Amino acid sequence: MGDNYHDLKKLARSLNLHTVCESAQCPNIGECWHHRTATFMMLGNTCTRRCGFCAVPKGRPDPIDFDEPRRVAEAVAALGLKFAVITSVNRDDDVIGGARAFVLVIDEIRRQAPGCQVEVLIPDFQGSEQAIRMVVEARPEILNHNTESVPRLYRAVRSGARYERTLRLLQFAKQIEPKTVTKSGVMVGLGEQMDELLQVCRDLAGVGVDVLTIGQYLRPSKNHLPIARYYTPDEFAFMKHEALRMGFRHVESGPLVRSSYHAHEQADAAETSSHNSVRVLM
C-alpha cells in the first residue's frame, strides 16, 4: 500500500471523487496507486445498467455534477500526472449530459495540467452519434470503449449493451477523426470459446481499433457471473500473437490485464508503431 496509496486515497476523498480502481475492485490497485496512477470515474458511483460482471453499484443515480470535471482535473494536476485515464458509469438517463462531462474534463485537464495526455474510457451513450461526436471532437489522445465479451454472451455479461453498437461506436470515432487512437478490451473466462474470441479480435481490427487489452475475468462476489475457467499463460500469449497478426498497434494480454493497466505504456507503444503498422485481416 505505502504512502502514495494513502495520499491518493486522501486526495480523492477530499475532492469527492470516485475511482474505478475502488468501485470495480481492480486487482491492480496496490501497484497502480503506489505509482501514483489511478482511473477516475465520473458521473457518480451508481450505474444505470446491471452488467453481470461489474462490481460498480447499480441503481438510480443522482443528477450529474458538472463541477466534477474541474475537480478531476484538479486531482490530475495535484498528482502531476503526464497521462490521465477518465471513465464513467453508464448514465442512460442523460447520455448527452454524460458526453458533455467528458468534454469538460478533457478541457479542464488541458487547462489545469498542460501537457498531460488524456485517455477516456467511455460508455456506449446508447449509440447516440451526437454524444460520440462531442467526445471525439474534444480530441482525447486515446478513445477507449470496451467490448468486454463475445456476442453470444452479451445478454448476460453486458445488460443493455449491443455488440453491433460497440463496433459502430469505434468505427464512427475513426470516421470523425481518423487520427484518434482507439482502444478496446475483452475479458475471458465467462464461457466463450477461443474461436469466438478471435472473431471479436477480427471484428475490432476491421473497424480500425489500434490498442487491444485481454484479461481474465475475476468474480467480484457470489452475486456476479461465475468463472467458467481460467486461461493459461500460453493461451494469453497465443491470443496476443494472433491479435498482432491482425494489425493492432499494441496488445496487452495476461491474467491481470485491465483496460487502463499500464495505459501510458500502451499509448507510447501505439504511437511508436503508428508509422509502420500493417493491418492484415485474417
- Alpha carbon of residue 164 to chain centroid: 18
Does residue 214 lie in a domain region?
yes
pLDDT value at residue 76: 87
Q: Which residue shows C-alpha cell 461526436?
A: 133
Does residue 280 lie in a domain region?
no
Contact, 137 vs 177, CB < 8 A?
A: yes
Does residue 74 lie in a domain region?
yes
Contact, 154 vs 116, CB < 8 A?
A: no
Does residue 274 lie in a domain region?
no
Tell me which residue of 205, 226, 208 sits closest to 217, measured CA to CA: 226
Number of domains into which the chain is organized: 1
Q: What's the predicted TM-score (pTM) here? A: 0.84
E strand or H helix at 227, and its extent?
A: none
Residues of the chain with pLDDT under 50: 23-24, 272, 274-282
CATH number reported for the structural domain that contains residue 98 in this entry: 3.20.20.70
Does residue 178 lie in a domain region?
yes
Q: Which residue shows C-alpha cell 478533457?
A: 106
Count how many Cα atoms sit within 13 Å of the Cα of residue 231 in the half-sphere of its side chain.
Answer: 27
Per the structure, the complete domain to which residue 105 belongs is given by 2-269
Contact, 186 vs 147, CB < 8 A?
A: yes
Give the span between the Cα atoms of 165 and 90, in whole angstroms: 15
pLDDT value at residue 200: 98
pLDDT digits (tens, 9 = 90+) for 33-91: 555 566 788 888 777 776 665 666 677 878 999 999 999 999 888 888 888 889 998 88
Does residue 27 lie in a domain region?
yes
Q: Which residue shows C-alpha cell 488524456?
A: 118
Degrees (nearest 5) of the Cα angle 122, 85, 100?
A: 45
Does residue 21 lie in a domain region?
yes
pLDDT value at residue 278: 30
Does residue 100 lie in a domain region?
yes
